[in-house]
Amino acid sequence: MKIEIKLKHKTIKRFAWQDNKIPLILANNFFTKNEAKMMTLEPTIFEKVNHWLRGDYDANTKNAIQSLLAKNDITALTDAFYQDLDFGTGGLRGIMGVGSNRVNKYTIGGATQGFSNYLLKTYPNQAIKVVIAHDSRNDSDTLARITAEVFAANGIYVYFFKELRPTPMLSFAIRALGCQGGVMLTASHNPKEYNGYKAYGADGGQLVAPHDENVMTEVRNIQNVKDIKFTGGSHNIELVGEALDEQYLDELVKLSISKGAIERQKDLKIVFSPIHGTGGVLVPPVLRRFGFENIILVEEQNIPDGNFPTVVYPNPEEAEAMALSMKKAKEVDADLVMATDPDGDRVGVGVKNDKGEFVLLNGNQAACLLIHYMLTAWEKSGKLTGKEYIVKTIVTSYLIDKIAASKNVECFNTLTGFKYIGEIMTKLEGERTFIAGGEESYGYLVGEHARDKDAVIACAMIAEMVAYYKDQGSSLYDALLSLYATYGCYQEKLISLKREGKKGAEEIQEMMKNLRSNPPLTLAGSGVVMIKDYENQISYDLANTKTTTIDLPSSDVIQLFTADGSIISARPSGTEPKVKFYCSVNAPLHRKEDYAMVQQQLSEKLNAIMRDLGVA
């Protein structure tokens, strides 16, 4: 095979390769034999690199590529070009930089041009409108402006948030403004090197099949950067801001169900941190609207900053990210600690235990408490009619299923990703009533104002829960123990194995392939009685030698169910270069006083299961 290369329209050389390796010679931006360094790239990657060097990309982009070439940085070039960014669990997401597998003006511009083409085909002869918002990440504002300009240049009317706003606000705005779509520029809780692009449909939910794939088909059909309309429609852009905030906050306040308890506990000490993100815009205002008057901010993290200078990883799932909030809570003797991720859709929670010590709740615990609180309140007020429902993901605690069953409320289980929860909400809108939903990764939604997880309403309702239990002389921690005593004590553990770049992606694929073809027969001494293969959409009942079809979209997930009630799920992350292993175990809790002992036993079982899986 041969390839012809032209740089600066001056020098042309022909090279041949064998065994899928290309000798690439570069010196002073010219291909010469005398001033050159040798390096090897796979042919498809080589062609992409050459395409970007020859194409209508700006000088800074080409210089950055040339710099990698000059350094012989094959790994960086491979990782930047071996694939195109594609929609995962949370839209497009990747490291910022040059290349087809990186977040930059061209990949974001191409995604928006493809989205524009899709909308124009889907809504012919209609006035199409979209909403654009962004978080505090580096370049999020710039990428949001590029996104808005591309939509506008395609004749699509754009509502553009003039300042950073949380993701749930974007979801709400799409429906409130009667738009056909929207985009949030964010990489959620990923490290500072990342950015991303969450694409939404007319229902306010992230795109799901077939719409996500249809958009990506349009993106892939863009063969030349010239096909992206970067300019020419600024008159189609309208700035939005405070008026929409008020409309959103008004909707959230309607969801309060314990107003009397809040009035009596309005001095509840609440420590809050937005971890340098968007949560600071709307969480303190909604807490005040609910009636809370003693909100203590973590000042070091209150200023939006895409470098996230006080944390390694801006993710409230990580204890390190919650450290400053917990420190402040101890200083002021707070009743509740909460911190949100950069785009304001996840929240971490800290409370006092029965010894007066501050502890962090995990995402499963917070979801169980929130959903139990909502269902119990609806039950007591006589609002449960049989048409209500909740939604969770298949990797989220099955304690929630038990709670829902006890209230005769249907619990739907979806694939991982809140977009699937939103999809069910849209399908059932007008027929049934959504009460709440959640996922173990610290994302929750109460009410039907949005179609994505919402840390703003979650913070308000969690604070209300704390006020409610305190008003009864109890605590959120004691409420958790009561749940365990009633339904069984549950403990979950998540292990994430990070595997970066092209090589890492291949390792993850091999790991999943091996688990699928050679699953363990026992885990921690208990036999595996059922295997659910969501990629092939088949459930294997090993005890009864039966197979059934899984009525969910195909997804690369394997679940193992053991005879003693343990559930292990494995899936590659849709937003990070990781493969995740979720493990849930449970046992009876006959007395609250035995909680520490039972938890220790469950912890030992979790560790044994992870060792048996080879991921401990």
Q: Which residues are catalytic?
A: 188
In angstroms, the Cα distances linking 482 to 95, 462, 469, 486 are: 44, 17, 12, 6
* CA separation for the pair 594, 578 (Å, rounded): 36
Rounded Cα distance, 203 and 448, in Å: 11
Task: Please classify residue 472 by burial: count the beta carbons closer than 10 Å to its beta carbon, then call 0-12 exposed, 13-18 middle and 19+ buried.
Answer: exposed
Residue 347 near residue 442 (C-beta atoms within 8 A): yes
Query: Could you give the angle at the alpha carbon of 262 between the alpha carbons of 260 and 264, nearest 5°?
Result: 70
State the Cα–Cα distance between residues 428 and 407, nearest whole angstrom. 20
The pair of three-digit structure tokens given for residue 166, joined into one six-digit string: 């949380």
Exposure string over 207-241, b if 16+ CB within 10 A, otherwise e: bbeebbebbbebbeebeebeebbbeebeebbeebe
Q: Determine contact, residues 253/134, Cβ cutoff 8 Å.
A: no
Strands 157-161 and 237-240: parallel
Could you tell me if 452 and 167 are in contact, meaning their C-beta atoms sit under 8 angstroms apart? yes
Strands 388-393 and 410-414: parallel
Place of tokens 């469950």: 602
Radius of gyration for the chain, computed over Cα atoms and rounded to the nearest angstrom: 26
Helix axes 242-253, 455-471, angle to 10 degrees: 40
Longest dimension (CA), the chain: 85
Give the DSSP H/E element, type plus range, for residue 455: helix 455-471
Tokens representing 432 are 């049934």
3-class secondary structure for 337-404?
EEEECCCCCCEEEEEECCCCCEEEECHHHHHHHHHHHHHHHHHHCCCCCCCEEEEEECCCCCHHHHHH
Q: With left for phi above 0 and alpha for psi between -120 and 50, is residue 513 left, alpha or beta?
A: alpha
For 116, the enclosing helix (H) or strand (E) is: helix 105-122
Asked whether the beta carbons of 395 and 571 are under 8 A apart, the reply is yes
What is the distance, to the nearest Å, from the Cα of residue 17 to the centroid of all Cα atoms in its chain? 41
CA distances from 488 to 152, 239, 399, 587 (A): 54, 51, 8, 6
Beta strands in 136-289 (DSSP E): 157-161, 181-185, 194-200, 237-240, 270-273
Q: Give the separation between CA 499 and CA 157, rounded to whole angstroms.
A: 41
3-class DSSP state of 556:
coil
Strand order in the sheet with 388-393: 410-414, 388-393, 433-439, 443-446
